[in-house]
Chain A
Amino acid sequence: DAGITQSPRHKVTETGTPVTLRCHQTENHRYMYWYRQDPGHGLRLIHYSYGVKDTDKGEVSDGYSVSRSKTEDFLLTLESATSSQTSVYFCAISEPPEYNEQFFGPGTRLTVL
């Protein structure tokens, strides 16, 4: 299994609070991704990174920010959580040229009350 961990695995928070999710990899892969999974929507890309300090927006980036200061860590921050951000969040990694052969972490279940 690819070495990808996510923390925390479960979190319950209140509306308006900041939340940071962490993705850590031991594979030295260049690309890292954050997705959210919601019923009826499959997985939707939030943000991705193509190198240290190089990030870009995905399909559903509003309300989220990311940072990547080291190859192995990719952080997702909800500056002020809302109930619509209740979801399961997955991190993934890949290495060029096989960008689309992505390896996924175990997920973080976030509930915003």
Chain B
Amino acid sequence: GNSVTQMEGPVTLSEEAFLTINCTYTATGYPSLFWYVQYPGEGLQLLLKATKADDKGSNKGFEATYRKETTSFHLEKGSVQVSDSAVYFCALGDIQGAQKLVFGQGTRLTINP
């Protein structure tokens, strides 16, 4: 079945550091890929998405490129801020039958000033 694997957390960085959170997936067909973010005490919210190979999703300084050859969708940001501290979830859109999301386990990110 479809699955998503994220890098183990937690990740702790200093402000203005470069961020990479790795995400790889296993899927049949050509799923859409997503990054969701969960700030403390809140529900998840969509951060960015890519719907086909080589697409780049971007939002709030975050980027991720849909790499079909490596089945990856790594999240990057050039200069993180304290306000980026959150849990980040990679997800794929299951295209078999009903439309459902399959989530990775989440990566907790803490940014220190």
Contacts and interface: CB of A to CB of B under 8 A. Distances in A.
Interface of A: 4, 31, 33, 40-45, 48, 50, 56, 58, 90, 92, 94, 96, 99-107
B106 A42 contact: yes
A100 B99 CA distance: 7
Q: Tell me which of B43, B91, B98 has the highest count of chain A C-beta atoms within 10 A of its own C-beta.
A: B43
B49 interface: yes
Contacts of A4: 43
B73 interface: no
A107 B43 CA distance: 6
A104 B24 CA distance: 24
Contact of A42 (B45, B93, B99, B104): B104
Contacts of A45: 100-101
B105 A106 contact: no
Given A101-B49, A107-B43, 18 more contacts: A33-B100, A42-B103, A42-B105, A42-B106, A43-B101, A50-B98, A90-B43, A90-B44, A94-B99, A99-B99, A100-B34, A100-B49, A100-B91, A100-B93, A101-B46, A102-B44, A102-B46, A107-B42
B89 A42 contact: yes
A104 B103 CA distance: 14
B46 A48 contact: no
A100 B101 contact: yes
A106 B89 CA distance: 16
Secondary structure dominating the interface of A: strand
A13 to B, nearest CB: 22
B32 interface: yes
25 contacts: A4-B43, A33-B100, A40-B105, A42-B89, A42-B103, A43-B89, A45-B100, A50-B98, A90-B43, A90-B44, A92-B43, A92-B44, A94-B99, A99-B93, A99-B100, A100-B34, A100-B91, A100-B93, A101-B34, A102-B101, A103-B45, A103-B46, A104-B44, A106-B43, A107-B43
A102 B106 CA distance: 17
A57 B67 CA distance: 31
